[in-house]
Structure 1
Amino acid sequence: MTVLNPVTKTTEFGGPIGSLILIIFLPLVTLFLFLACNEIYLMEGFNLNLQLLKDAFNIYVYNDLNNLLFDYQSWKYYLYWFISLALLDVYIPGNEKFGIKLRDGSKLKYNINGLQLVSLLLIIICSRFYLLGFNLPELNFLYDNFLNLMFTTWEFSILLSFFVYFTSFIPLRNKNGNGNGNGNGNGNGNYERILSINGNSKNILFDWFIGRELNPRIGDWDIKLFCELRPGLLLWFLLNLSCLQRQFQKIGYITNSMILVNLLQFIYIIDGVLNEEGCLTMVDITTDGFGFMLAFGDLCWVPFCYCLQARYLTLKEINLTNFEMLIIILLMIIGFYIFKASNNEKNNFRSGKLSNLKSIKTERGTKLLIEGWWGISQHINYFGDMIIALSWCLPTKFNTILTYFYVIYFTSLLIHRQIRDDEKCFKKYGNSWIEYKKKVPYKIIPYVY
């Protein structure tokens, strides 16, 4: 008999000790990026000015810690933002789609309405700019309360992580009152939740960090997919706009570097929101649980770390030559094309539309693609992502390594994810995976790695 929720025997990220380190370290990184890039101190070159960093810490954090931890205004605005998006996510009409088959044989239903939501948001923002010019009070609030909101999203992600952890122990009630028919009912109309294969270690700290339940939901509303694509991504977009607006208020015009950063990142953000259906087959949704790692990453890390280039350009006026702009745009186009074309090819192959492409049939009866984009490297989409990341950093030129944090971090993240994927695929496909790696030897970067 197959166990619905097997106990996790091998923990990732260094287990409980590694999780504790990341729980402390990741928020400190977000704080450091702010302290190294603000009106008091702007890191230049490759050396930190520790005294100025300390001064910024004392002024922004130490002397204002109570307000940062208990900021009523920030909490009010953030809850309004989160809840409004959640309601729109549920009630804006969209296309009904189903995710992959779960271990109990069921498929979860999703309301795919990213296009409708983005259209509404853009109409509101454009109307506001038309009426008020570059003086939107909501964007001024975002820029002036950047650190307070960062602390608020960090605290919110902690609370959300506790909520989904504790609710993962509460059995779900079958609407028919008779279990789900797959052997995991308990005879009284309740049935088990499907847990993550990575987050059922029985260690409270690790499971809370990595995520115990696979798809925590309130009714049909999927908390994980929502957090992945809505509040953090769209807040990143608004934070970038707040920097653009503040630059105009300071110097009377908008530099081409600021326009470029906003435009390139906007394309990526909107593509992510519009690509909901594609996310249903991603590892984050199909395999990983939803705990502090994803909650903090989606709600705090993404918006407040990824807007670093725009914040830097608010403080340092940079104008690019036409040639520099052309090179950066070409890099973005190349990276985006590789990223989109490879992912589309994978999705089409999985849906049976590209049966003419060469593949390896696994012992499980599934197929591993070894032609087209996926014959070039095992994760060619990651290579496209790396090129995109570089294009976002280049508009800041080479004044400091700080603004290249994103491409350095993201490359490390993708390499780590590739290692995780390799281990999982070997367990899943066995000898078929070994054969696949002989056919496609390069992991991410063709002919390099």
Structure 2
Amino acid sequence: MPQAGPTLPEASTFLIGRQTVDRFLKMPSRKFADGEVVRGRWPGSSLYYEVEILSHDSNSQLYNVKYKDGTELELKESDIKPLTSFRQRKSGSTSSSPSRRRGSRSRSRSRSPGRLPKGSRRSASASYQADLKEARKEAKKDMLEVKLTPLVLKPFGNSINRYNGEPELIERNDIPHKNTQEKFHLSQESSYIPTQYSLRARREEIKLKEVDLKEETVVTKRPALLRTSEVTATQSKDLEFGGVPGVFLIMLGLPAFLFLLLLMCKQKEPSLLNFPPPLPALGDLWETRVFGAYLLWFLLQALFHLLPIGKVVEGTPLTNGRRLKYRLNGFYAFILTSALVGACFFWNVELYYVYHHFLQFALAAVVFAMGLSVYLYARALKAPQDELSPASSGNAIYDFFIGRELNPRIGTFDLKYFCELRPGLIGWVVINLVMLLAEMKEQNRAAPSLAMILVNSFQLLYVVDALWNEEALLTTMDIIHDGFGFMLAFGDLVWVPFIYSFQAFYLVSHPNELSWPMASLIIALKLCGFVIFRCANSQKNAFRKNPTDPRLAHLKTIHTSTGKNLLVSGWWGFVRHPNYLGDLIMALAWSLPCGFNHILPYFYVIYFTILLVHREARDEHHCRKKYGLAWEKYCQRVPYRIFPCIY
């Protein structure tokens, strides 16, 4: 279930950023990461073999690589190519290391990429002539067997590379022959077979080029279909939340559980002996006027969102290369809402009505969220393939829950982005204020209790901070990965306003007199959590915007083969998710003013802990798959996930 504000799911809870200058050694950046599996050119020839990057010398700018037979050499960056640059021959003999082909078993180390190791004495010219002769023999056989097929390569390293159907042409400047051209072909085998450059005579290459052009035309016409098939096949094996049965039970159970909690909270003596609480008649839960009031609230926030105030920013690049634009005016919408609430006080509007019909408002929100989810799924059936969510699976029930379309928009109005911070988050603050007024009326108080003031103040600070830092939402998992379906619609519009305000709702019927010494300790705990939360998020956002910022020069990173860096110092060297740690500390501070008479006000802390642990596991899974060996090194450097020395 999503959460409000800056604690919404983050696709990368560690910190990543593009970096063109090594900010620690002041040396040029490297292209390949340690442990990455690539292709290295054998010195003096045009042959490329599968190698593993061992290390990088920042002074000489040479890579120390290891071939599969154990040979270690130092190569220039220009002599190293990524695996995705190659297409391999479907048939024909291949060798996994250059020393096997040359009859040499020696493991030697060359200090220059231009010098052959001991045991290999053939000149580049002799090697070229021999390979050319062999290539001519195989040309006719290969010519009829060329087939370009996207495939997932599985080298002996941890990173997984996908060929995207667009061959990369490699120019060779080190072979003194102008009538040769290099071609690489992918086989249909599911496992990766080490291959090398194949050298062919000009006549054979002309024929092969004609065959390749035909095959590439077929692949080019259907790239979206192939990518969609790969994504669907992968995700069908990796459904979250317990798969289809799990999400089905969640959709049935969450509304029932919500009303159960609210009914128990209204009891004077909530306990297991009084469980389940008396259930009201269905007619008492539904009121058309209440549903109209909720609909008016939603439309009012939508109007505030459409106002041409606030800056416009671009989101993260989508799979089709587009970057959607978003208007950041959530804080202005909060100011306008506050002014409207103030006007209600001035006009003597009875806000106590919301507390008296709280269950009816909750049911109205559930009905609206369900109707919105149906609309979202129906419109997603006509959405183009490149606009679907990476989390969608093709199963109707699962996609209804997780969301099929990634960024559903009506014109320029982004439905998911709007619902994330506006109706539910701002509604949470309004409900808290209503509960403060209800406490004064129900308990005949001239002023609200200290416990109610602390709860309102703590959660108001949290919401204002989220709206002030609205741009951070654009890099969360909600926006860049999950679609907009029942999960986010119910979470944003129902769960956030009616569960996150649970402490204030509890205090209306169960007052707790709080002493000032105890209040001081709770305030200190809240500030501690907020400092951790805000400083960690600020450091993350600054690094994402500009990794070369001089103010961040003291931070340490781990380079990855994607061109991004993992931040492993500062707040993010303490635990992998310091923002989650700060969030949980603040959640505890929200519950403590309610006292220790019942576990009900601590439900939020328990639920929130489970939510963040589950979210951290999702992040871990995505990042391990994306960054491979670099992510393992990151986990070694920062072993604890959320709680230092515990978890």
Please give the TM-score of this superposition, normalised by the length of structure 2: 0.62
Partners in 1 of 2:469 and 2:241 — Cα distance? 28
1:442 counterpart residue number: 640
Shift of 1:226: 1.0
Task: Indicate yes or no: 2:388 matched with 1:195.
Answer: yes
Amino acid at match of 1:126: G
Shift of 1:365: 0.9
Amino acid at match of 1:23: M
2:316 counterpart residue number: 100
Q: 2:378 pairs with 133, 146, 166, which one?
A: 166
1:149 counterpart residue number: 361
Structure 2 residue matching 1:97: 3-state secondary structure: strand
Partners in 1 of 2:599 and 2:511 — Cα distance? 17
Q: 1:11 pairs with 231, 236, 239, which one?
A: 239
Tell me the alpha carbon deviations over residues 231-274 of structure 1, each in whole angstroms, 9 at most, x when there is no partner.
Answer: 11111111111111111123123111111111111111222222
Partners in 2 of 1:335 and 1:222 — Cα distance? 32
Shift of 1:305: 1.1
Conserved 8 A contact 1:92-1:117: no
Partners in 1 of 2:441 and 2:471 — Cα distance? 39
Shift of 1:311: 1.2
Task: Indicate yes or no: 2:403 matched with 1:217.
Answer: no
Partners in 2 of 1:217 and 1:431 — Cα distance? 38
Q: 1:298 pairs with 474, 492, 497, which one?
A: 492
Partners in 2 of 1:203 and 1:400 — Cα distance? 41
Partners in 1 of 2:412 and 2:553 — Cα distance? 34
Tell me the alpha carbon deviations over residues 149-205 of structure 1, each in whole angstroms, 9 at most, x when there is no partner.
Answer: 11111111111111111111224xxxxxxxxxxxxxxxxxxx545111111x11100
Partners in 2 of 1:270 and 1:34 — Cα distance? 26
5 Å-filtered alignment, 1:315-334, equals: 315-334=509-528
Structure 2 residue matching 1:12: 3-state secondary structure: coil
Amino acid at match of 2:467: V
Partners in 2 of 1:42 and 1:302 — Cα distance? 25
2:23 counterpart residue number: none
Q: 1:128 pairs with 331, 344, 349, which one?
A: 344
Structure 2 residue matching 1:141: 3-state secondary structure: helix
Structure 2 residue matching 1:37: 3-state secondary structure: helix
1:378 counterpart residue number: 576
1:48 counterpart residue number: 272
Partners in 2 of 1:67 and 1:329 — Cα distance? 40
1:175 counterpart residue number: none
Structure 2: state its 5+ residue gaps. Answer: 1-163, 165-222
Q: 1:79 pairs with 295, 305, 309, which one?
A: 295
User: What is the aligned residue count?
Assistant: 413
Conserved 8 A contact 1:209-1:292: yes
5 Å-filtered alignment, 1:407-422, equals: 407-422=605-620
Task: Indicate yes or no: 2:597 matched with 1:399.
Answer: yes
2:253 counterpart residue number: 25
Conserved 8 A contact 1:377-1:445: yes
Structure 2 residue matching 1:280: 3-state secondary structure: helix
Shift of 1:128: 3.4
Conserved 8 A contact 1:35-1:41: no
Partners in 2 of 1:274 and 1:231 — Cα distance? 16
Tell me the alpha carbon deviations over residues 24-51 of structure 1, each in whole angstroms, 9 at most, x when there is no partner.
Answer: 111122111111111x4442xxx41236
2:483 counterpart residue number: 289
Partners in 1 of 2:329 and 2:347 — Cα distance? 28
Q: 1:66 pairs with 283, 293, 297, which one?
A: 283
Q: 1:41 to 1:193 in 2, by over 3 A?
A: farther
Conserved 8 A contact 2:334-2:426: no
Conserved 8 A contact 2:320-2:386: no
Structure 1 residue matching 2:475: 3-state secondary structure: coil
Shift of 1:129: 3.2
Shift of 1:112: 0.4
> Aligned Cα RMSD in Å?
1.6
2:80 counterpart residue number: none
Structure 2 residue matching 1:368: 3-state secondary structure: strand
Shift of 1:206: 0.4
Conserved 8 A contact 2:319-2:386: no
Structure 2 residue matching 1:442: 3-state secondary structure: coil
Amino acid at match of 2:305: D
Tell me the alpha carbon deviations over residues 263-292 of structure 1, each in whole angstroms, 9 at most, x when there is no partner.
Answer: 111111222222210101111111111110
2:35 counterpart residue number: none
Conserved 8 A contact 1:19-1:206: yes
Tell me the alpha carbon deviations over residues 369-416 of structure 1, each in whole angstroms, 9 at most, x when there is no partner.
Answer: 001000111111000000000000000010101110000100110001
1:244 counterpart residue number: 436
Partners in 2 of 1:115 and 1:298 — Cα distance? 17
Structure 1: state its 5+ residue gaps. Answer: 172-190
Conserved 8 A contact 2:536-2:579: yes
Partners in 2 of 1:327 and 1:255 — Cα distance? 17
1:266 counterpart residue number: 460
Partners in 2 of 1:410 and 1:425 — Cα distance? 22
Partners in 2 of 1:358 and 1:374 — Cα distance? 10
Shift of 1:126: 3.0
Partners in 1 of 2:568 and 2:473 — Cα distance? 22
1:179 counterpart residue number: none
Shift of 1:315: 0.8
Q: 1:204 pairs with 388, 396, 400, which one?
A: 396
Conserved 8 A contact 1:92-1:116: no
Shift of 1:111: 0.7
Task: Indicate yes or no: 2:624 matched with 1:426.
Answer: yes
Conserved 8 A contact 1:361-1:368: yes
Tell me the alpha carbon deviations over residues 1-20 of structure 1, each in whole angstroms, 9 at most, x when there is no partner.
Answer: 36454313211001110001
Task: Determine which structure has the larger helix proportion and give its number.
Answer: 1
Amino acid at match of 1:48: L
Structure 1 residue matching 2:309: 3-state secondary structure: coil
Partners in 1 of 2:291 and 2:510 — Cα distance? 30
